[in-house]
Amino acid sequence: MLTKYMTIVFDDGPLPFMCEIVDLFNEYSFKAGFAVMGARINDDTEYMLKYAIDNGFQLVGHSHSHPKLETVSREQVIKEMTKPISYVKNRIGYDMKNWARLPHLCRDESVLQICKELKLILLGHGMRCGSDWLVDATPENIIHETLDTACDGAIACMHVKEHTYQALKTILPELKKRGFELVNPDELFKIKGKTDIPIGIHIHNINEI
């Protein structure tokens, strides 16, 4: 069976169940990424970031306070997208470099131009995952949509939620059975030989660039 590679990046952390997600991935020798918000990084959550990094997971920026960037000023967009990078660097010495996912996955041409100037690699959403950000999302729907749309090269967008964690208990072994290997974003680009990575555009599936 030909190995298929994909990555999942979990938004909105650090939050409870982040470490549990890491442990669950480790059971299958899988890795992933976490898109973190600057405003949620503090003395009580810093250990979650360290735990993820120590286990081979990748951190990427997800703004400071999660606004809809197309509704704020240019200066605010720059602050929102650079603050998490400096927060993580100053607290734990980890360099997120230019990896990011936009809050709400929303953008207009102005926001994309700013991201291009900041040289940000923007991770998109190359699969459907049961709208797992919703309060009333169910593990069953998350499982169904994730497994139905999983494909080689995909960059999936999921969230650090309890119902997502519960769904992953079914999703991960099934993906393993289907010949998938889950890696962090940087590993996915390297495995696929993508060295000239476009900046300032959403990348949903690495095979499309």
> Structure pTM?
0.97
- The number of domains in the chain is 1
Cα 72 from Cα 197, distance rounded (Å): 27
Structural domain of 96: 4-208
Average pLDDT over residues 84-89: 94
Alpha-carbon distances of 201 from 4, 113, 167, 196, rounded to whole Å: 24, 9, 30, 13
* pLDDT at 43 exceeding the cut of 90: yes
Q: Give the model confidence (pLDDT) of 138-151 as tens digits.
A: 999 999 999 999 99
Average pLDDT over residues 11-31: 98
* pLDDT at 105 exceeding the cut of 90: no
Pairing of strands 180-182, 4-13: parallel
Residue 128's pLDDT is what? 95
Residue 107's pLDDT is what? 78
Residue 163's pLDDT is what? 98
Residue 195's pLDDT is what? 87
Average pLDDT over residues 126-155: 97
Residue 106's pLDDT is what? 78
C-alpha angle 187-102-38 in degrees, rounded to nearest 5: 90
Q: Give the model confidence (pLDDT) of 166-176 as tens digits.
A: 999 999 999 99
User: Whose CA is closest to 155, among 193, 207, 112, 103?
Assistant: 207
Residue 205's pLDDT is what? 97
Predicted confidence band at 1 (pLDDT cuts at 50, 70, 90)?
confident
Cα 67 from Cα 92, distance rounded (Å): 25
* pLDDT at 125 exceeding the cut of 80: yes
Residue 20's pLDDT is what? 98
User: Whose CA is closest to 34, among 193, 164, 180?
Assistant: 164
CATH of the domain at 47: 3.20.20.370
Average pLDDT over residues 190-198: 93
Residue 74's pLDDT is what? 96
Average pLDDT over residues 118-124: 96
Predicted confidence band at 164 (pLDDT cuts at 50, 70, 90)?
very high
Average pLDDT over residues 134-141: 96
* pLDDT at 117 exceeding the cut of 80: yes
